[in-house]
Amino acid sequence: MSKLLKLEKAYLKKLITHSPDQCEGQFCCVHNPSDHHMREWQMNFRHDKGVMERICPKHGVGHPDPDDAAYWISIGRPEMTIHGCCGCCNGSIKKPLLPSELPVSTLLSNPNEL
């Protein structure tokens, strides 16, 4: 647990997360947020999904934090960005493709099997 850091912010209760050196040099929703349009929105960590979201101040809808979403997409888990949407994220969260929308070659372990 030495690499875990306990953070307290006014809008987050207590969050145990990685240490700042683990995300140094890249955007991180906790330690180094990018300058996205939802940056001032309240943050909410979804323990049920393990994702950070931003709460739309107009509708109260949770949208994936863009920096957290970028992380999930970068490790091949775009499904973690699926969310109910009021439109206020302005489409900044790229919708992951459903299996039925993927090219056949990505669904096969060996595309030469066609």
The Cα–Cα gap between 109 and 29 comes to 34
For residue 94, pLDDT beyond 50: yes
pLDDT digits (tens, 9 = 90+) for 28-70: 998 888 888 898 899 998 888 899 999 999 999 999 999 999 8
Strand order in the sheet with 42-46: 42-46, 51-55, 62-64
For 17, the enclosing helix (H) or strand (E) is strand 12-18
The Cα–Cα gap between 9 and 38 comes to 17
**Is the pTM here over 0.85, yes or no?**
no
The Cα–Cα gap between 110 and 82 comes to 28
Burial readout 18-37 (b: 16 or more C-beta within 10 A, e: otherwise): eeeeebeeebbbbbebeebe
Task: Say what percent of the chain tops pLDDT 70.
Answer: 67
Pairing mode, strands 42-46 and 12-18: unpaired
pLDDT digits (tens, 9 = 90+) for 25-36: 888 998 888 888
Domain ranges of the chain: 26-95
For residue 6, pLDDT beyond 50: no
Higher pLDDT, 64 or 107: 64
